[in-house]
A and B are shown apart, each in its own frame.
Chain A
């Protein structure tokens, strides 16, 4: 852990030393990483204080980005992020209580109208910043590799498949001896963007089995609700024969088994590469610098992991207090830079694909 942080800091230090003398850190070695970055973030490091609030799914990522930004800028600005949930974040952003919001879904029409009023009649932009894949984690002794697909997942969550040695699961896992234990399903009891994305994924890929609507509240059959991703992760860890969904970072932090997903041709492992491929299949539905995405959950692209959650930073395109706007812009330009995104994988997130990242970076530069 310390090693990866250190090496990342060294990279950040090298870049900032190259790009801006004012922010350069100690012990910069020239030229090692600069070549790979198309537009290195020229950090201005303004002093002051901003507050952000919202999605807990991106909490770990933005915390790390804030700490790394503070390292690069020697703590000149105070940046707070409160992981109170997407709904609370948007509400408080629109009420003018926080300077930007983190959200698991882009602004809906009425939210966008309220956001426009908050930004002094300027549009608010959805900037995809953190990609949090959803892990289907299991606890089965002796099973190191488990393959599932959307149809099987939907049937498990709808209570139609109840044991681990069900023929449908066995067919995907030839050569693996599956126990005859009951499948204990854990889901989120609180309303959550993760649940919403799981239901969207299942609705798009197994519509005949997953008949309920997509929603932030879990609509599965059976199973046991747990509070927050941490609750689901702990329950899966403690219960043999269990299956639950959570952000990748929670599965990694708790060292849980993660099911691979068969999208048609082959089983796809959850890693940053397979998530990046899924994001390439996404289309941008926003206009201009508003980069709201529509994910293609039913993608059949080879090697693409389809169950992905994209969290946005929701910002005013203009109209924020000048001093605060400068920090928002500077911090987000670091977050959207190559070095800002590079550290995310070790936390259980996937970096934005380069094509999308450059769009986000130029949108950040356009903030007034």
Chain B
């Protein structure tokens, strides 16, 4: 901007450097503010429009049976339960595979060609768009095997998205466990499997748990697999094999073209705020686990 090319700037370097300093500092600060603006804007909009909706007790205790976009009342219980249930199924399937996979890669196959191959594949898997994971499950389970759509099918496609995240983070955590700990255990004559179970995993536990919770938070906001693999519902369904189950992202998607004057419009903001709270809660939980783990180490 004020590069020292002219005669005057050469004779007065102090001044020009000062200007550069101020300008650049201003730009850096401005970039920082710009980065925060969308977040604050989104939060203010969603909280101001969604808060009145979620403050009612009915929001947390009722589903939408007997209501329409015009009829007020009802709540998001069906979608909250659906999101949590699908998230839970996803975690139950993905976490053991991811953690055991990471243990294999770090403890048993470290440095081998197989491990490098698997790591590479996992990296590719983490780059797969959610819609492709959803279509893969749809093609496999529904088109080829003729299963019905179900919450489980949706959870399975989310597993494909959660698996690489958790596997990679677990791998990093296991790498951080010092080899001296393992060697000390071997020196005491403890077999390898017990070393992993009683020394390596407990040491890395808080890191692994943080990775799991962050992975869960990431998949809970996913929409594409839920659109394709399980139909949205206005009633509460608990069975994981049910072909209709509401989730917060699909509740938002279904309600987004409701006219502004109707009750259904407010519910969309309520659902958006609820989803943000849920994901934010998981992120806070992850931080808490990480901090608790660090304290224990000391």
A residues engaging B (CB < 8 A)?
A: 1, 5, 49, 51, 53, 56, 60, 63-64, 66-67, 70-71, 75, 78, 80, 82-83, 95, 97-98, 228-231, 233-234, 250, 253-255, 347
Contact = CB atoms under 8 A, between A and B. Distances in A.
A80 B66 contact: no
B71 interface: yes
12 contacts: A49-B244, A51-B243, A64-B71, A80-B232, A97-B148, A97-B149, A97-B243, A229-B257, A230-B256, A231-B257, A254-B260, A254-B261
Contacts of A233: 259
Contacts of A83: 254
Interface string B222-234: 0000000001111
A250 B233 contact: no
Scoring A67, A71, A229 by chain B CB atoms within 10 A of each residue's CB, the highest score goes to A67
Contacts, number: 67
Contact of B67 (A56, A67, A230): A67
A229 B148 CA distance: 31
Interface in B186-240: 231-235, 237
A60 B231 contact: no
Contact of B244 (A63, A67, A80, A231): A80
Contacts of B65: 70, 75, 78
B259 A51 contact: no
A324 to B, nearest CB: 12
A88 B231 CA distance: 12
Contact of A253 (B233, B244, B262): B262
A228 B257 contact: yes
A60 B68 contact: yes
A233 B259 CA distance: 9
B70 interface: yes
Contacts of A49: 235, 244
A80 B259 contact: no
Nearest to B148: A97
B68 A64 contact: yes
A255 B260 CA distance: 11
Given A78-B235, A82-B254, A233-B259, A51 B244 contact: yes
B157 to A, nearest CB: 16
Nearest to B67: A67
Contacts of A5: 71
A250 B244 contact: no
A51 B244 CA distance: 8
B222 to A, nearest CB: 18
Given A60-B69, A233-B259, 7 more contacts: A56-B257, A63-B68, A63-B69, A64-B70, A78-B237, A80-B244, A253-B262
B231 A98 contact: yes
Interface residues of B, number: 26
A5 to B, nearest CB: 7
B70 A254 contact: no
Given A83-B254, A253-B259, A253-B261, A60 B235 contact: no
Given A67-B66, A97-B148, A80 B261 contact: no
B68 A80 contact: no
A49 B231 CA distance: 13
Nearest to B236: A78
A228 B233 CA distance: 21
Contact of B232 (A75, A82, A228, A230): A82
Interface string B171-191: 000000000000000000000
Contacts of A67: 66-68, 71
A60 B66 contact: no
B135 interface: no
B67 to A, nearest CB: 6
Interface in B224-280: 231-235, 237, 243-244, 254, 256-262
Contact of A230 (B66, B237, B259): B259
Scoring B66, B68, B233 by chain A CB atoms within 10 A of each residue's CB, the highest score goes to B68
Contacts of A80: 231-235, 244
B63 to A, nearest CB: 10
A67 B234 CA distance: 11
Contacts of B149: 97
A156 to B, nearest CB: 25
A250 B69 CA distance: 12
A347 B70 contact: yes
A51 B70 contact: no
Contact of A60 (B67, B70, B232): B70
Contacts of A347: 70
A347 B69 CA distance: 11
A75 to B, nearest CB: 6
A305 to B, nearest CB: 22
Contacts of B260: 234, 254
Interface in B139-184: 142, 148-149
Nearest to B234: A80
A85 B261 CA distance: 23
Contacts of B68: 60, 63-64, 66-67
A250 B71 CA distance: 16
A253 B68 CA distance: 14
